[in-house]
Amino acid sequence: MKQESKDNALLATGLLTEFAFLQSLIKSKTLFVMCLIGIVIFGGLGLFLYKMAGA
């Protein structure tokens, strides 16, 4: 009953998918590493574009 009300609150605020993703991220080492690599690559691309725009 308590979990159902929590899910309903997350669904009403639109945060259910983010919450489910974070739960999966905590449980799965592979997903965690893939997300970490994606963040590093995306950050590197952003830094590269910032440097190129300033050149």
| Contact between 16 and 5 (Cβ < 8 Å) | no
User: What residue numbers bound the domain in which 23 lies?
Assistant: 2-54
Separation of first and last alpha carbons in the chain:
58
Query: 35 Cβ partners below 8 Å, 6+ apart?
Result: 25
Contacts of 19 (CB under 8 A, 6+ apart): 10
What is the model's pLDDT at position 24? 86
Is the whole model's pTM more than 0.85, yes or no?
A: no
Q: How many domains is the chain partitioned into structurally?
A: 1
**Residue ranges of the chain whose pLDDT lies below 50:** none
How much is the pLDDT for 3?
A: 65
Do residues 16 and 7 lie in contact, with contact meaning Cβ atoms separated by under 8 Å?
Answer: yes
